[in-house]
Amino acid sequence: MMKTIFAAILALALCIGSGIAVETPPATPASSTSSSTKPKDTRLPGVALAEGISQITGTAISPLLGVSAVGAWQYYHTPKAERKALPWFCHPGFWGAGFVILSICLLKDLLGTVTPALLKKPFDMVELFENKASGLVASAAFVPFITAQIAENFGKTQAHLSTSSNLQLASILPIASVDLDARLLAMPLGIVAFLVVWLMGHAINVLISISPFSLIDTMLKTSKMLLLSAVLLFYTIHPFLGAALCLLLILIAAILAPTAFRLAVFGTMFATDTLLPWRARRHVAPSEAHAFAAHPISRATTRTYGRLIRAADGCVSFRYRPWLILPKRIIQLPPGKLSISTGVFFPSVLHTPEGSEKSTRILYLLPRYRSHERSIAKHLEISDIRDSSLSKGFKAAKAWIAELFDFGKSSSGPIKNADLP
């Protein structure tokens, strides 16, 4: 419940810690030429790199919170005459709006504890798109700004290391004498590191939006809070220790990136159909129904996005593109009996192996295909259409309420009194 408050405190504390690392001793009169000269950054390049890694990783976990907090910190700790040169995300209009959105998210989390999940989930899906937008802004503006600062520190040190005392090293390692702009390496690596960590955090948001249980929501939100607090704690102890933790998180996120990417696509498609049903209805295609793999099917891994089709040979197949852009692949569904299961939120395809009576869900269809189950079954020549347990419960409740309040008309008409002999 206090996840957003605590996360805001963590982000502000991280920014304060970064600001402390940036501060330098006051210049003596002999070394200062004018009052408008910027203080010289006396940090070692390793410290600047460690600080940048921590800032990028922390912001990737919660982009809007991180960018807004860093923007506000940079604005208030920059002389008024130099604020016009700051990046646009340091403008009060941007980070002020960011904190307003964060306050709305906080209110949503506070009210969510007493709100039924059915009413709260649409707001979780809206927050899902906020996370996408803030991640895009951070990757396009914030990360290049941080990596440019890191590269600037390394550029100064590279010039210092190119003295005669290092010529012997350059003769042993010729690559050391190559004058390369550090930004050519720092910026791509920084963006890639941000994206893989953001994907991992975004996957947690997707799980929150599709989870029907408040307890699981709380556990997932707590996990993000713990990640952010761990980055802050380790950075506060020592910048190098914080960077080591962040590098470990980046490595784990890179390993999980394919799974997180598929989960992000899954959450985006389901959230779009739920929040924009009129758009979803315009893209219904029963002959090529949009679907996600419920579990691995041949070479298609869990939550692979594709189309449920009838191939040229008449077999029901699953067509997909790896990573959404690679060449198309078509795999035949396993042999056995196929069924279409209706659902309250989305239909699915069930598979019963030959010689077995146990059915398992093999494909999830998008919510846009509710009420289109019969059209899909007709095209695929599937005769078995089932109601899910939850769907049966909703239909039974609807019928009971209709009967209780006498909704609808009786097909047989009013009962007349019979003539007595």
Assess whether 270 and 307 both reside in one domain.
Answer: no
Domain of 354?
286-403
Assess whether 47 and 67 both reside in one domain.
Answer: yes
> Is residue 249 domain-resident?
yes
Residue 19 pLDDT exceeds 90: no
Average pLDDT over residues 166-181: 44
265: which 2 tokens? 């696509």
Residue 228 pLDDT exceeds 80: yes
Residue 63 near residue 132 (C-beta atoms within 8 A): no
Average pLDDT over residues 115-130: 80
Indicate which CATH number applies to the domain containing 319: 2.30.29
> Is residue 118 domain-resident?
yes
> Is residue 393 domain-resident?
yes
Please spell the DSSP secondary structure of 282-302, one letter per residue. Answer: HT--GGGEEEEESS-BTTB-T
Residue 45 pLDDT exceeds 80: no
Residue 250 pLDDT exceeds 90: yes
> Is residue 245 domain-resident?
yes
> Is residue 421 domain-resident?
no
> Is residue 376 domain-resident?
yes
Task: Please tell me the least confidently modeled range out of 89-103, 293-307, 311-325, 396-410.
Answer: 396-410
Q: How far apart are CA 320 and CA 330, in angstroms?
A: 7
| Per-residue confidence (pLDDT) for residue 412, from 0 to 100 | 44
| Per-residue confidence (pLDDT) for residue 421, from 0 to 100 | 44
55: which 2 tokens? 């800032």
Residue 410 pLDDT exceeds 70: no
124: which 2 tokens? 């979780």
Of 409 and 377, which is predicted with more confidence?
377
Please write the tens of the pLDDT for every residue from 252-262: 999 999 999 99
Q: How far apart are CA 119 and CA 211, in angstroms?
A: 13
Assess whether 205 and 325 both reside in one domain.
Answer: no
Average pLDDT over residues 9-22: 43
For residue 1, which of 126, 115, 135 has the smallest C-alpha distance?
Answer: 115
Assess whether 300 and 192 both reside in one domain.
Answer: no
Q: How far apart are CA 108 and CA 44, in angstroms?
A: 43
Residue 121 pLDDT exceeds 50: yes
> Is residue 346 domain-resident?
yes
This prediction has a pTM of: 0.74
Mean pLDDT of the chain: 78
Task: Please tell me the least confidently modeled range out of 43-47, 85-89, 271-275.
Answer: 43-47
User: Angle, nearest 10°, between helix axes 117-137 and 239-275?
Assistant: 120
Assess whether 252 and 319 both reside in one domain.
Answer: no
Of 399 and 198, which is predicted with more confidence?
198
Please spell the DSSP secondary structure of 117-140, one letter per residue. Answer: HHHHHHHHHHHHHHHHHHHHHIII
Q: Which of 215, 240, 274 is the endpoint of a domain?
A: 274
Please write the tens of the pLDDT for every residue from 281-329: 999 999 999 999 998 998 899 999 999 999 888 889 999 999 999 999 9
Q: How far apart are CA 389 and CA 383, in angstroms?
A: 19
Give the best-scoring range by mean pLDDT among 9-13, 23-27, 380-384: 380-384
Please write the tens of the pLDDT for every residue from 365-380: 999 999 899 999 999 9
Q: How confident is the model at residue 141 (pLDDT cuts 50, 70, 90)?
A: confident
Residue 344 near residue 388 (C-beta atoms within 8 A): yes
Average pLDDT over residues 85-98: 88
Task: Please tell me the least confidently modeled range out of 121-125, 224-228, 249-253, 363-367.
Answer: 121-125
Assess whether 238 and 150 both reside in one domain.
Answer: yes
Assess whether 135 and 11 both reside in one domain.
Answer: yes
| Per-residue confidence (pLDDT) for residue 401, from 0 to 100 | 58
Residue 199 pLDDT exceeds 90: yes
The strand pairing partners of 317, in sequence order, are 309, 332
| Per-residue confidence (pLDDT) for residue 214, from 0 to 100 | 75
Give the best-scoring range by mean pLDDT among 20-29, 118-127, 359-368, 390-399: 359-368
Assess whether 243 and 357 both reside in one domain.
Answer: no
Average pLDDT over residues 380-392: 75
| Per-residue confidence (pLDDT) for residue 41, from 0 to 100 | 53
Count of structural domains, the chain: 2
Q: How confident is the model at residue 14 (pLDDT cuts 50, 70, 90)?
A: very low
Assess whether 153 and 46 both reside in one domain.
Answer: yes
Average pLDDT over residues 227-250: 92
Residue 231 near residue 246 (C-beta atoms within 8 A): yes
Q: How confident is the model at residue 33 (pLDDT cuts 50, 70, 90)?
A: very low
Assess whether 290 and 247 both reside in one domain.
Answer: no
Residue 164 pLDDT exceeds 50: no
Residue 323 near residue 343 (C-beta atoms within 8 A): no
Assess whether 208 and 239 both reside in one domain.
Answer: yes
337: which 2 tokens? 């009996």
